[in-house]
A and B are shown apart, each in its own frame.
Chain A
Amino acid sequence: MIIQIILSVGLSVCVFYVVSLRRSFSAAQIGLLAVIMSGYVFVWFPNLTNTIASLVGVGRGADLVTYVWIVLNLAFILRLHLKLREQAETLTRLARQITLAHSEKPD
């Protein structure tokens, strides 16, 4: 009972964070909310994971949760990488303008 309350509070913080990201909901946000909602379900009905695990051919529910978690993390890392690239492009344009504004002609 205690762990379920702690995990639920954690998931609620996640919901708050995802909702606060933007005012209009994007596909990624809706996806994240769906993941969190299924988190609530599995926290309160852990046996459900075993049922689904045996359906898809994984031994235990806990294993299934781990596998899904790994895949989701990889997706997050990829997203983060792309975000960083976008920022790097902005930074490049900014640095280029500074460079061109301070060009030096030969003596």
Chain B
Amino acid sequence: MPADTNNLWVVIPAYNEGKMIARVVEDVRRLFPNVVVIDDASADQTADAAKRAGAHVLRHPINLGQGAALQTGFEYALKAGATYIATFDADGQHHIEDVILMQDRLTESGADLALGSRFLGNTVGMTEGRRLLLRAATLFTNITTGLSLSDCHNGLRLLTARAASILTLRQNRMAHASEILAGIRKHRLTFIEVPVTISYTEYSRQKGQTFIDTFVICRDLIAAKMLP
């Protein structure tokens, strides 16, 4: 039996993705009708382009960051009655076909989350520097969260409604990726890793994280530990 695609919501945080977002939304909607784009106060036409392409649109009044945008999307999708929520990048590096596989595997396994792994799957056009950076980040995250993952900074995930409502993201910026993993550990959620393909393009490389961002992520994680 093919999985039901109507109860799955695809959440796409977007910041200044006006050139790419329509193509991404149309591509996702070939397979999943429910798409919500969170425009994180872009300066360009991201929100309008996404809406024309058939997405639900949430506009942050001020720029809050990718983590905050995901949390806004989670709350919207949960209210809309989603059973599954996928997190998907706006820069076109993910393939929506992978979400079908993730949904199948998640349903089969009965786990709370399916995490995409490019190191179990494929990458197209990844630079050696990026591979090293990601490997180091994965090692660091595995040590700090006590989980054992092959790829921990992958924006492609599939969550059950239960997992999305338990994981309340407080990390507004990039550290949300680690926060999700820490949350898995803290709330004893179960997860599976699913091989996915990431396609690096000139465009996605420009939008991607840099070496310096690693320091920002570490700082945010330490600061969060000191807050109540």
Point out residues on A near B: beta carbons under 8 Å: 78, 81-82, 85-86, 88-89, 91-92, 95-96, 98-100, 102-107
Contacts and interface: CB of A to CB of B under 8 A. Distances in A.
Interface in B122-179: 170, 172
B172 A88 contact: yes
Contacts of A96: 60, 64, 68, 71-72, 75
8 contacts: A81-B223, A99-B59, A99-B61, A103-B76, A106-B54, A106-B55, A107-B51, A107-B52
Interface residues of A: mostly helix, strand, loop or mixed?
A: helix
Given A86-B227, A92-B68, A99-B72, 11 more contacts: A82-B223, A82-B227, A91-B62, A92-B172, A95-B61, A96-B60, A96-B75, A100-B75, A102-B58, A102-B59, A104-B59
Contacts of B38: 99
Contacts, number: 59
B58 A95 contact: no
Contacts of B52: 107
Given A85-B223, A86-B227, A88-B172, A100 B51 contact: no
Contact of A92 (B51, B56, B64, B224): B64
Contacts of A107: 51-52
A88 B63 CA distance: 11
Task: Give the residue among B55, B60, B68, B227 with the most A Cβ atoms within 10 A.
Answer: B68
Contacts of B54: 106
Contact of A100 (B64, B76, B172): B76
